[in-house]
Amino acid sequence: MDNKGLKILVHASAFFMPFLVPFIIYLVVADAAVKRVAIQAILFQVVMGILITISIVLSFILIGIPFLIIFGLMTIIIPILGIIKTLSGETYNYPIVGRWI
């Protein structure tokens, strides 16, 4: 059974509840592919939060401003790419944490 809707929900949750929705889906759904996407989404949000925090600290010496822009855009673009790939039926792995899982 393909849980395309749940995968799309996990990717889209980055815009409204980036930790809660993937965590709940991970606990409730039995499908291993959906669980994998949920864990990747959570880890991606954690890693991006850490990188953005470091960029904010480094922006006081101006070197963090480009990183802040890049990481901010990544937190918007990557989930959209995940939604598009899932809609087309392809498996999508998050770029930073996809190989960790």
**pLDDT tens digit sequence for 13-65:** 989 988 899 999 999 999 888 999 999 999 999 999 999 999 998 888 888 88
State mean pLDDT over 72-78.
92
Which contacts (CB < 8 Å, 24+ apart) does range 12-18 have? 12/79, 12/83, 13/41, 14/41, 14/44, 14/45, 14/75, 14/78, 14/79, 15/79, 18/42, 18/45
Q: Which helix (H) or strand (E) holds 28?
A: helix 20-28
- CB-CB neighbours of 37 under 10 Å: 30
Instruction: Give residue 41's pLDDT.
Output: 92
Decide if pLDDT at 97 tops 80.
Answer: no
Cα 82 from Cα 2, distance rounded (Å): 16
Give residue for tokens 């759904």.
29
> What is the pTM for the complete model shown?
0.85
pLDDT band at 1 (very low <50, low <70, confident <90, very high): very low
